[in-house]
């Protein structure tokens, strides 16, 4: 655990830092990153000893409520930002809310702007979901020599723009194995093999919450079945409650308040001249 001052100048402890992520190069050590979009997911990640989480920029406050110690990266491309000023504003809001870094798949000018403002910024190369239409679908990127060479140029340009790390999604493992020792950026592998500085999977895939686990992921739990059991149990309980109400079984005598007979009789006397408005 490392003591830092966060973006707002407050004392904080962090599992890892930008400096320690960058220092992974050539050490043979790796960090582990997962997604976290809710307080309980962040808390679970911290309890499990995960090093880093990534979340949407809007989710940073909730994620920080779940963990004050994890290294949090805010994805800043998903809030409707259009201009570079919009992107910069979202980045600063994310840092103010407790993020340690931001990630963007926007053009190099965006990375340069963020880096120039002192924002720790990660890039995103390989398969970028928002560009799947241009890529011809969900596929591995870098399967030919020409495509791998173009990808390597993108790594160089991204590093020159000021990114300290890069998410590498669906890149051939052998290609990333060649790139990782040749770039100064920390490489974060999502479906791109083991030869990276940080290994990354989506939490909902890991815990078995996804309806379909991608080829590059692995389910280590079965949260989906537990959630279905909770849904089924909720419906069963509600149905039982309704049946008890209609059948006269709820409430029982022990589930209502009491009044002494004499007190009740005195109360009823106050209705002596008042007729009920409805049939008993």
Active site positions, annotated: 169
**3-state SS assignment for residue 146:** helix
| Spatial separation of the C-alpha atoms in residues 184 and 112, rounded to whole Å | 16
| Spatial separation of the C-alpha atoms in residues 280 and 277, rounded to whole Å | 9
Helix axes 145-161, 108-116, angle to 10 degrees: 30
Give the CA diameter of the chain: 98
Phi-psi region of 128 (alpha: psi -120 to 50; beta: other; left: phi over 0): beta
Nearest Cα to Cα of residue 129 among 190, 217, 219, 206: 190
Helix axes 84-96, 108-116, angle to 10 degrees: 50
Q: How buried is 199 (Cβ within 10 angstroms: 0-12 exposed, 13-18 middle, 19+ buried)?
A: middle
Rg for the chain, CA atoms, rounded? 28
| Spatial separation of the C-alpha atoms in residues 253 and 64, rounded to whole Å | 46
Report whether 104 contacts 123 (CB < 8 A): yes
Q: How buried is 265 (Cβ within 10 angstroms: 0-12 exposed, 13-18 middle, 19+ buried)?
A: exposed
């Amino acid at each position: 655990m490392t003591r830092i001052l966060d973006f707002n100048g407050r004392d904080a402890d962090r599992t890892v830092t930008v400096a320690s992520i960058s220092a992974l190069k050539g050490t043979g050590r790796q960090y582990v990153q997962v997604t976290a979009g809710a307080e309980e997911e962040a808390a679970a990640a911290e309890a499990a000893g995960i090093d880093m989480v990534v979340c949407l920029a809007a989710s940073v406050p909730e994620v920080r409520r779940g963990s004050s110690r994890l290294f949090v990266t805010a994805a800043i491309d998903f809030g409707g930002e259009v201009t570079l000023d919009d992107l910069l504003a979202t980045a600063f809001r994310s840092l103010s809310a407790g993020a340690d870094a931001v990630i963007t798949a926007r053009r190099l000018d965006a990375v340069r702007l963020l880096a120039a403002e002192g924002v720790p910024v990660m890039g995103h190369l390989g398969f970028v979901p928002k560009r799947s239409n241009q890529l011809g679908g969900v596929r591995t990127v870098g399967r030919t020599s020409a495509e791998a060479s173009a990808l390597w140029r993108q790594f160089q340009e991204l590093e020159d723009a000021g990114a300290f790390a890069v998410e590498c999604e669906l890149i051939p493992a052998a290609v990333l194995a060649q790139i990782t020792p040749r770039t100064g950026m920390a490489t974060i592998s999502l479906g791109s093999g083991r030869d990276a500085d940080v290994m990354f999977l989506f939490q909902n895939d890991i815990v078995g919450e996804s309806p379909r686990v991608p080829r590059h992921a692995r389910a280590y739990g079965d949260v989906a079945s537990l959630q279905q059991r909770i849904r089924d149990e909720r419906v069963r309980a509600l149905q039982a409650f309704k049946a008890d109400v209609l059948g006269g079984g709820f409430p029982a005598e022990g589930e209502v308040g009491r009044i002494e007979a004499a007190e009740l009789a005195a109360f009823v006397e106050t209705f002596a001249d008042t007729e009920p408005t409805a049939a008993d």
